[in-house]
Amino acid sequence: MPQNEIIVSIVALSGAVLLISFWRQILFILLFGVIVVFCFGLYNVVAVARG
């Protein structure tokens, strides 16, 4: 196995471990982002409707 493939494998493995470890935090951040965008969009719609 060439050295490049070993490095790629290690990076992929560590990435997978990080994802598994932090999926709750990632999910929370994504959910928070969606809620913020949704509220901001709703606020803009209300602001435009009030004119």
CA–CA gap between residue 39 and residue 44 (Å, rounded): 9
Residue-range definition of the domain harbouring residue 45? 23-51
**12 domain-assigned:** no
| Total domains, the chain | 1
**3 domain-assigned:** no
pTM over 0.75: no
Q: Are 12 and 6 in contact (CB under 8 A)?
A: no
CA–CA gap between residue 25 and residue 13 (Å, rounded): 19
**42 domain-assigned:** yes
**29 domain-assigned:** yes
pLDDT, one tens digit per residue, over 1-49 is 678 899 999 999 999 999 899 989 999 999 999 999 999 999 999 999 9
